[in-house]
Homo-oligomer: A and B are copies of this chain.
Amino acid sequence: MEGDIAEMGKYIGVGLTAIGMGGAAIGVGNIAGNFLSGALRNPSAAAGQTAMLFIGIAFAEALGIFSFLVALLLMFAV
């Protein structure tokens, strides 16, 4: 048995960051899903809430991108 055990931990850590991306996608899905549900019930108000939709998506997506950043840092920087 050979190999660097620190590298093993690094690769497992990279894989674990995907859980953060999955959670962020669930959050994004919840925001966009509720927007569509409401927009189809009251289409005339949808245009006025588009800004809020993108602000909400941006906050949730940011956390998924942080996870991706951690994965890239683990793979290429640490």
Determine whether the beta carbon of B68 is less than 8 Å from that of A68: no
Interface membership of chain A positions 36-52, coded 1 if the CB is closer than 8 angstroms to chain B and 0 otherwise: 11111111011011101
- Nearest CB on B from A16, distance (A): 3
Annotate A9-43 by CB proximity to B: 1 below 8 A, 0 otherwise: 11111111111111111111111111111111111
A interface residue numbers (CB < 8 A to B): 1-43, 45-46, 48-50, 52-53, 55-57, 59-68, 70-71, 73-78
| 16 pairs, A vs B, C-beta closer than 8 Å | A1-B2, A2-B5, A3-B3, A15-B70, A16-B18, A18-B70, A19-B23, A20-B20, A22-B23, A23-B24, A32-B53, A33-B34, A36-B38, A36-B56, A70-B71, A75-B78
